[in-house]
Structure formats: C-alpha cells, structure tokens
Amino acid sequence: MIAPAIGRANLEVFADTVLELARQDPSIMVVTSDSRGSGKLVPFGEELPDQIIEMGIAEQNLVGVAAGLAMSGATVFAVSPACFLTARALEQIKNDVAYSDHPVKLIGISAGVSYGALGATHHSIHDFAALRAINNVGIVVPADNFETREAIRAALAHARPLYIRYGKKPMLDLHSPDTRFEIGEAIVIREGEDLTFIATGEPTGRALLAAQNLEADGISCRVISMHTVKPLDMEALLYAARHSSAIITVEEHSIYGGLGEACAAILLQHGICLPFKIVAIPDDYTVTGDQLEIFDHYGISAAGLSAAARDLLAKG
Amino acid sequence: MRTLQRKSIEYRKTILRIIKAANAGHTAGSLSCIDILNVLYNYVMDITPQNFSSPQRDRYIQSKGHSVEALYVVLADKGFFPAAELDTLGRFRSHFVGHPTRKVPGIEHNTGALGHGLSVSVGLALGAKYRGSPHRVFTLLGDGELAEGSSWEALMAAGHYQLDNLVIIVDRNRLQITGSTEDVMGLEPLADKFAAFGCAVRSCDGNDVEALTQALEQLPFVRGKPNLLLAQTTKGKGVSFMEDVARWHHRVPADEEYAAALRELETAEMTL
Ligand SMILES: Cc1ncc(C[n+]2csc(CCOP(=O)(O)OP(=O)(O)O)c2C)c(N)n1
Ligand SMILES: [Mg+2]
C-alpha cells in the first residue's frame, strides 16, 4: 500500500496552467475582483498585463463583464472566491452566462470551507446546489493537481458555461499523468467490490486513504473521482451500484443539493436500492477552524469515512 | 483626549498580539480603523453591555467585517466579554472567527462579505424613524468595498428617505488587497459622489482621535441628510513598516517584525 504523494495547491496549478495557455492564446482573458493575489495570478498580471482585467470588489459586475467579453470573442476566465462568485453574482451567472449561453469559465477559488476560520460568509457549501438548479452550466470539482490542470485545458475547448471550483491546500496526487480526463467522465482511482466511495473535489484523497485503511480489515473499496458534478457520469454510478454492496458519497458541500443527492436520485430512478450514505456538511451552524479540522469534525476524513463504511456494511 | 490616545495604542498592541497568536488576521485594516472604533465606542455611541438589549441603544454595523480584530479588542475593553476570550481567535470552534458574528456579545450583525452593511444600516435607520426612536445607526465601510454596487443602492435609499440618523464612516485608506484603490477601481471624486447621492459629507483625519471627536460632535451634520464622514486614514497606522503597504492587508508579522512593532508602539506610548 503506497501512500499518495503530496502535490501543490490546486490554486497554484490553476494559475500556472492558465498562464501557460494564455501565452499561446491571446484570446484568453482573466477577469478578477480584487482577487488576483488570492488567485495566485500576480505573475500572470506581470507577464501578460493586457490579458487580465481588474474589476475591483464587484463580483456581479465581474460576471456581467465576463459575459460581454465572451460575446466579443474572448476566452474568459472569471476568477473570484467561490463564496462570492456563486452567491453574490448568482443572477449574473443565471442570466448573463447560462441562459444567454456564453461559454464563460467561472473559477471559484478557495471553495468549500477552505477559508475555514473566516466564517460562513466565506464558505461556499451551497454552490453545487445553486448551480445544479440552473440550466446550462457545468460543474467541475478537481480533486488533485492533475485534474485541475486537465479541467482547465478541457475548459478551453468547452463550448458551454462552466464552473470550476477548488481550494487552497496542497493536494494528494491521485492519478498518473497518462490518466484519461474528460469533463463528464468519472475516473476510477481504485477498484473494489464491497463498497464504493464516490467523491468529488478535495475530500477525494481522504476517501482513497479510507479505502487503503479498510483494505487492511479485508474490506475492498472502489474509489471514484466524480470530478464533474454536473452532468453526472451516470454510467460510472450505475456500474458502481451494480458491482458493490454499498455506496458512500463524499463532498465539501451541504448535504443538500450536492453530489450525494444527485447520485441518490439517479439510483432510485433506475430502481436501485442499496445501503447508501451521504457524507457532507449538515444543515447546522457550520463549525469554524482550519479546513481539515472542519473535515475531521464532519467525518470527511480517513478515520470518519472508514467508520462510516464499516457501519454501512454492518447495517446492510 | 490623552486617555483616548492611550487607548488607541493599547488597542493596537492587542490587535497585533491576537493576530500573531492566531497566525491569521487582517492586520493593516484593523490598524487603519481602530481610532474610529475607539472614538465611536468610547465617546460617540451609546452602546454598552448594560444597554445592549435596550431598543434605544445606538447601533453599530461593521460592514468592513474583515477588520474584526479591531472590533473584538474594543468590545473586550468595553466589557462585553472577558479579554482572555480574545486568545481563542481563529481556533477550532471558537466564536471569535475572522469576521463578526452575533455569537460574540456586542455584535449586532454578521458581516464579512463586503457591500452588505450599508443596506442593513439603512434598514435599521428606517426602523428607528418608524418607531420614533432617537437612537442612531453607525456603520463603517472600507473604501475598496465601495466598488460593490449594493453600497450605492443603499446610499440612494438613505438619501431618498432623508436618514439623518444614519452615520456612514468610510475608512478612506486608499488601499485594498491588490493595491491602491485608484489603480484598482478609481473612486475619486468620492466626496462629490456622496454629495450627489444626497449625503452631508465631512472629512477628517481618521487616525486622529481629536479630529474624529470633533467631526462627530454634532450629529446630524445637516438635518434631513444621511451623515457621511470620510475618515482619511493610513492603512497599517502606528507601525511604520506596515503603513501604506498593500501586502500587510492580511499578513501576519514574523517574530522580529512583531517585536519591532511593539517597540514602536511602546515608544509612542511613552512620548504621549
Ligand atoms: C463580497 C466580497 N468580496 C471580496 C471580499 C474579499 N476581501 C476582503 S477584504 C478585501 C479588501 C477590502 O478593501 P477595503 O474595503 O479598502 O478595506 P481596508 O482597506 O479597510 O482593509 C477583499 C477584496 C469580501 N470579503 N467580500
Ligand atoms: Mg481600503
């Protein structure tokens, strides 16, 4: 059993990737809302000052302007903390980007509970739910550096509106560089028959660690990185449901309206009923602290997920 | 006045101490607005732990929520909670998080996303008028924050409803995270913009407690108009190497920097 290596923060990988791409493609524009430092985009601004536009602390304007730039032929990355981008500017996302169908790449940085101790104003645990209910916007949540790089590259060619969100902490490397990445196509990180962890984003590494722990107890777990929350990879989900005895979904989001509920709805509508658990953030006064302390508190940890798996299999 | 000046220095030392201990915080913005909070809480506003549940108390809404350390330190000094609780700043499950929340005694409203406080304050000021209560509503805004369009929606309403019981203070330190406000998204001519929205506008040195007390001595500035005080401040005020330097927005001082900062503040205290 090899422990995965620790990579960099997805935030940094995004910034490097978009700079690399923008050097070759002058149509790429990055738009920020006093967020270039938080987005690690200072080097981008220094090297390609004509390809970055500052809007000040005005997220609604940011998204509206991004739509206008996209209509003018630019390939636009609108970069702002996920909490403000998807709450403050929700109507701009709905009408100016999604409904009007301009392929803006909405980049939600420091997402989920990455801003842990800054409090709930800075958490985005509503964004999957809000955007899942808006037609014509995809949701991609990279779990590691590889997925981040590939998601940004894939976003360039993607003709529809897209929301990509990630956090600030260094991530475990989960994939080999020759792994295939397509938006809408889940990646099986590990095979197993007893239980499947379906995870998205930063908790995915923790699901993998849980699977490795459980292996020592003779419990064999499949781990799927469901990096695209919308559209969901139904095939991967149904295959997992038919080839394991239980499913646990894991996400850095509210228990409502996210990955877990999306999976449950699909399974039930396909007549599949199996032991199933959603591990996410409950509807409560969200605890504050470091992101990983919050994860541990809500069982989004190797220990918490291992316990949840044993529990679910025992009940099943 | 000497007492207020001494308090400002004490507050600055405590702000730095708790940020250093938490290893996180909005250092320069708290130092920028601490003199304003000092004068508001110790001279202008009628808000105490004793009257906090009275409907007649004045109201304070900190729209620039990120400078919460300044607010925590003043509330501790006013006796809203034991000062020792400040040491839990940023810790797991502590209510002393990086933005104001009502879980902390003395705080009226949860803020932290910029561009909300003025609307809520307009609501409070309208509420006071409707109830015929003489209390006043004070709110503190960042200058970078003014790029949020909602601030101007609220200002329009404040002027329209002639809310002279509303006191809007802008911490005009000319910096935001990325750099100078005028480079990021120009605000000038700011006083003219506020006046055009129907405010009675005054300006003063926002790091001078005497100037602040004088500016806020007579409220309303003009009957029937919202009061707007442009507090001309220096971000990072009181620590020479933090003053007017953008990167101190949320930087935590290293050990040597912390020691040097305390030395400067202690010298200032001795020469008072
Ligand atoms: C809606 C929203 N967008 C972005 C932020 C992130 N943010 C926190 S402080 C800050 C800069 C604030 O600048 P300013 O208002 O000038 O405050 P000060 O200089 O007094 O610190 C930003 C962009 C936020 N808290 N809320
Ligand atoms: Mg400022």
DSSP secondary structure string, A40-90?
T-HHHHHH-GGGEEE--S-HHHHHHHHHHHHHTT-EEEEEEEHHHHHHTTH
Among the three residues A147, A172, A197, which one is the final residue of a domain in this structure?
A172
Do residues A153 and A16 share a domain? Answer: yes
pTM of the model: 0.97
Q: How does pLDDT run along chain A (316 residues), one tens digit per residue?
A: 567 889 999 999 999 999 999 999 999 999 999 999 999 999 999 999 999 999 999 999 999 999 999 999 999 999 999 999 999 999 999 999 999 999 999 999 999 999 999 999 999 999 999 999 999 999 999 999 999 999 999 999 999 999 999 999 999 999 999 999 999 999 999 999 999 999 999 999 999 999 999 999 999 999 999 999 999 999 999 999 999 999 999 999 999 999 999 999 999 999 999 999 999 999 999 999 999 999 999 999 999 999 999 999 998 7
Predicted interface score ipTM higher than 0.90: yes
Residue A299 Cα to ligand 1 middle (Å):
32
Across chain B, mean pLDDT equals 98
Cβ proximity of A227 and A147 under 8 Å: yes
Tokens at A22, concatenated: 């923008």
How confident is the model over B64-74, as a mean pLDDT?
A: 98
Q: What is the pLDDT of residue A316?
A: 75
* A185 SS3 class: coil
Do residues A255 and A195 share a domain? Answer: yes
Flag whether A26 is in a domain.
yes
Among the three residues A172, A200, A220, which one is the final residue of a domain in this structure?
A172
Residue A57 Cα to ligand 1 middle (Å):
7
Do residues A21 and A118 share a domain? Answer: yes
Flag whether A209 is in a domain.
yes
Residue A219 Cα to ligand 1 middle (Å):
48
A310 Cβ neighbours under 8 A, 6+ residues apart = A214, A217, A219
- A-chain CB neighbours of B147 within 8 Å are 34, 55-58, 61
CA distance B29 to B90: 17
A residues 61-80 lying closer than 8 A (beta carbon) to B: 61
Choose among A88, A122, A293: nearest Cβ to B92: A293
Q: What is the pLDDT of residue A18?
A: 98
Note the pLDDT tens digit of each residue in B119-131: 999 999 999 999 9
Contact between A288 and B94 using a beta-carbon 8 Å cutoff: yes
Relative orientation angle of helices B68-77 and B27-39, to the nearest 10 degrees: 40
Q: Which domain holds residue A308?
A: 187-315
Q: Which domain holds residue B132?
A: 2-271
Beta carbons within 10 angstroms of residue A99's beta carbon: 14
CATH number of the domain at A112, please: 3.40.50.970
* Domain tally, chain B: 1
Do residues A191 and A120 share a domain? Answer: no
Q: What is the pLDDT of residue A3?
A: 72
- Reported as type and span, the H/E element at residue A233 is none
Flag whether A87 is in a domain.
yes
How confident is the model over B94-120, as a mean pLDDT?
A: 98
Choose among A34, A61, A88: nearest Cβ to B176: A34
Q: What is the pLDDT of residue B31?
A: 98
In a mutagenesis test of the A interface, which of B97, B107, B110, B152 is the best target, namely the one with the most A β-carbons within 10 Å? B97
CATH number of the domain at B37, please: 3.40.50.970
How confident is the model over B100-104, as a mean pLDDT?
A: 97
**Pocket residues: Cβ below 6 A from ligand 1:** A 34, 57, 84, 88; B 29, 32, 64, 66, 112-115, 142-145, 171, 173, 175-177, 235, 249
How confident is the model over B142-148, as a mean pLDDT?
A: 98
* B238 SS3 class: coil
Return the amino acid letter for A316.
G
CATH number of the domain at A234, please: 3.40.50.920
CA A157, chain centre distance (Å):
19
Do residues A160 and A70 share a domain? Answer: yes
Q: What is the pLDDT of residue A2?
A: 61
* Domain tally, chain A: 2
Flag whether A1 is in a domain.
no
CA distance A260 to A265: 9
Note the pLDDT tens digit of each residue in B153-205: 999 999 999 999 999 999 999 999 999 999 999 999 999 999 999 999 999 99
What residues are paired with A188 via a beta bridge? A224
Residue A293 at interface with chain B, using a CB cutoff of 8 Å: yes
Residue A43 at interface with chain B, using a CB cutoff of 8 Å: no
Q: What is the pLDDT of residue A206?
A: 98
Flag whether A119 is in a domain.
yes
